[in-house]
């Protein structure tokens, strides 16, 4: 794929729209999946993917072929997503405290998951708990965990994508796992 990417990149730089579309087609799905795991909103993800590809193709002439195109593209997409998330800064609420509204306090009710008639329901619930716990992680840890476990990137690839030292990647993933263990302790059934 690297040689075909190399040729496609040269053709795209020269203005070949077919080469541009081929590169887009090769990576759009993977970038969409990664960003969707970060923002959890289909419309926002679509916009972020489009922005990432626009930025990438504008910067294509500066791409260094010594590195993997996919790593370079992931880096652009993640940085764009981080910028978007920083601008958005959603207000978060503790699930243990009532939410204040104009009508007073609203208590949250959670379903009793101890009785599960179907394995799929239990598996779905477990996945949702894990996703929520990952979503609640600090941004740096969340990105590292998603790249490592959802995208199955190596520590070296993560270091390259995030432009941080390998030791920092290992530390972030270790700390993120510890936070997840603490947060999920007693909530997941084996």
- Residue 173 is part of a domain; what is its CATH number? 1.10.10.10
> Where in the sequence is the domain holding 29, given as residue range(s)?
2-88
Look up residue 150 and give its DSSP letter.
I
**80 and 134, same domain (yes or no):** no
Q: How confident is the model at residue 67 (pLDDT cuts 50, 70, 90)?
A: confident
- Is 101 part of a structural domain of the chain? no
Last residue of a domain, one of 88, 108, 141: 88
Domains: count for the chain: 2
Last residue of a domain, one of 88, 108, 143: 88
Residue 3 has pLDDT above 50, yes or no: no
- Is 189 part of a structural domain of the chain? no
Q: What is the pLDDT of residues 87-108, one digit of tens each?
A: 876 555 566 667 666 777 766 6
Q: What is the 3-state secondary structure (H, E, C) of 109-140?
A: CCCCCCCCCCHHHHHHHHHHHHHHHHHCCCHH
- Is 29 part of a structural domain of the chain? yes
**145 and 80, same domain (yes or no):** no
Q: In Å, how far from its chain's centre is CA 79?
A: 11
């Amino acid at each position: 794929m690297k040689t075909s990417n190399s040729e496609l990149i040269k053709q795209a730089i020269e203005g070949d729209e077919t080469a541009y579309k081929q590169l887009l087609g090769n990576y759009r799905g993977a970038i969409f999946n990664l960003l969707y795991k970060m923002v959890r909103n289909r419309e926002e993800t679509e916009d972020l993917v489009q922005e990432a590809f626009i930025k990438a193709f504008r910067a294509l002439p500066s791409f260094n072929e010594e590195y993997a195109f996919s790593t370079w593209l992931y880096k652009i997409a993640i940085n764009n997503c981080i910028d978007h998330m920083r601008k958005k800064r959603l207000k978060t609420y503790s699930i243990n405290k009532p939410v204040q509204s104009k009508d007073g306090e609203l208590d949250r009710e959670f379903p009793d998951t101890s009785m599960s008639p179907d394995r799929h329901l239990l598996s779905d619930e477990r996945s949702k708990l894990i996703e929520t716990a990952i979503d609640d992680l600090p941004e740096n840890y969340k990105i590292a965990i998603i790249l490592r476990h959802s995208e199955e990137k190596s520590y070296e690839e993560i270091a390259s994508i995030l432009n941080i030292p390998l030791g920092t990647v290992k530390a972030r993933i270790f700390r993120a796992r510890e936070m997840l263990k603490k947060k999920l302790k007693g909530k997941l059934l084996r």
